[in-house]
Structure 1
């Protein structure tokens, strides 16, 4: 029987823990330094000890069999500092290794972070993480997973990394493969289009009937939820309630944070969080693993980190699985949104248009003209 005791490090607002709980796992303790996020955890997981600094934890709580860690991504994100795994935030992954080195009975370690970590500084973050796990005697597997795979209209790519000394992580992470996105509206003009209104010159984040990944906002705490251009020409940003739903949380999950922080801080909490259904899926597969045949998987080369790979007894190979483990019924933005959007301001819309016109990015037919018409009518 699988032991279901989970210790969540860098828990944020509890997305991994909520997903694991849906699979019958329960948290023995949590850890989160952000005061607002910690307050959400204390509200949503009553009676569970919540540490506020992983560096002060001497050992994992008694009974822990699974450690989860959505460790800080600020230094690894394409929109962050790009200082890498040794940055002032992301280096905290070392605290996971410190705790593991003093623990003998951990069955699983589950990490989550941004896809850009595979490429930043030639993948040095992955070099470091995989080498450290192997030094501690762990087998590992990772896979880039797209939130759209679980039916949510958010094109969000995240690396899901699973390690174990006693189990084969491939039997959890690779055995489900839908091979294609459930979002079939990639070329339709009759569906909403999500985009980053804060960009436009070098990237757009364009997503059809979906939004690009929710972000934490600016370094000074200004929210920057993605914009949505609707077929009728309206342009707006989703409400915080729909943003929570886009990550798989119940509405108002982050509402308790308003007890100690301004309401806009909820956007940071949601942007920094994980997509809950991914970890419901992971918990299901830990409960019911399936056989994986890696016999014909190609050897992992030193040139770059692919979207999926594994190491068993330090033999490293690439897996050819896709970013879509599941093909759940996709509910596009045209049907998903429950609450009115906030109209995009004239300044934001014209700023995007200015950057788009000075750059050389391709936009869908009619996109720029519709956005111009919108600004003319504000």
Structure 2
């Protein structure tokens, strides 16, 4: 197997953040699926293909053969912000089982799944136990870790759980954080000469400044207004969200981030095309992933797969340690 040129599928594709990460290490997408039509428009503008629609209506046998399954399956059912219904949410929570049926039918060598940090603790850990047990029962060795986007080169505090699985006993470690001097800061991602339409009403600015915790905080900063109304400045963005008020994060308490800045906060390249209005781009960025985090995981996955195939059993997990690793 040539892991410098492999095939993957992009499920719950959104605007293609996970795809970008795996293309960066030699991957070639052979199938994509996304339910939201606005996301499909953005995806098509950038990848020149319109994703298939509702995955629940797609027979796994009709999906082309592939080596790695990718899926940032919907997180609203497990989110701290959401209603935390989990598998009781029939429209979102159960979509994990669509991934399961495709893995069962196609038996790819590996997968990467992404979700909110709260997935691990939801329902006292029972939700994740169900997910993990189903993956193990399919014969996959499973690794999971919560990673923060701040540690991988983008100015955004965004903690997400990543679940990596291999059909063989592949030895895998999640990527180490990027050295601090190689991380982008706000000055690297903010645009110059921003249109006045992004600036907030003076009353909003005055209200924010009156509630800011550190009135002498150095610029540039991004302030975050939490649910209690407190305003806190940071040298990075708080987690981009899909459904929050447009003004919940502000740059220097003066203006909203532009479409390009939101994409940069998620680590998308400036070549990425913007084809929809502000509100829709904001939602799509909030629902997406931090591309550099995905790219870092992808590099480690491919490195591990290459090592396993080159070394055979010497590159495999010690079966005596497997219980400890995956318990």
**TM category, shorter:** 0.7 to 0.9
Q: For structure 2, list consecutive stretches of 5 or more residues without a partner in the other structure.
A: 187-213, 309-318
Alpha carbons 1:110, 1:163 under 8 Å: kept: yes
1:283 aligns to what?
298
The alpha carbon displacement at 1:183 in A equals 9.1
Task: Tell me the distance in 2 between the aligned counterparts of 1:114 and 1:312.
Answer: 31
2:104 corresponding residue in structure 1 = 101
Q: Which residue matches 1:366?
A: none
User: 4+ runs of 1 displaced by more than 6 Å?
Assistant: 178-185, 311-314
Q: Secondary structure at the match of 2:145?
A: strand
* Offset at residue 135 of structure 1 (A): 1.1
Which of 235, 243, 246 aligns to 2:262? It is 243
CA displacement 1:289-326 (0-9 Å, x = unmatched): 3989xxxxxxxxxxxxxxxxxx998614489xxxxxxx
Q: CA deviation at 1:197?
A: 2.2
Larger relative helix fraction: 2
- RMSD between aligned alpha carbons? 3.2
Q: Pairwise mapping of residues 256-275 of structure 1 onto structure 2 (< 5 A)?
A: 256=275, 258=276, 262-275=277-290
SS in 2 for 1:161: strand
Aligned length: 283
Q: Aligned to 1:211, which of 237, 240, 245? A: 237
Alpha-carbon shift at residue 208 of structure 1 (Å) = 2.5
**Matched position secondary structure for 2:225:** coil
Q: Deviations over 1:45-76 (max 9, x none)?
A: 12x46211111111162231110000001111
Cα separation, 2, equivalents of 1:225 and 1:242: 15
CA-CA distance at 1:86 after TM superposition: 3.3
Contact 1:12 1:32 in 2 (8 A): yes
Give unpaired runs (5+ residues) of structure 1.
293-310, 320-378
Answer yes or no: is the 8 Å Cα contact 2:144–2:161 preserved in 1. Answer: yes
Give me the whole-angstrom Cα distance separating, in 2, the residues matched to 1:100 and 1:27. Answer: 16
Mapping of residues 1-378 of structure 1, within 5 Å: 1-2=2-3, 4-46=6-48, 48=49, 50-59=51-60, 61-87=63-89, 88-104=91-107, 106-168=108-170, 170-173=171-174, 176=176, 189-197=217-225, 199-201=227-229, 206=232, 208-218=234-244, 223-228=246-251, 230=252, 234-251=253-270, 253=272, 255-256=274-275, 258=276, 262-289=277-304, 315-317=323-325
* Kept in 2: contact 1:112–1:161 (CA 8 A): yes
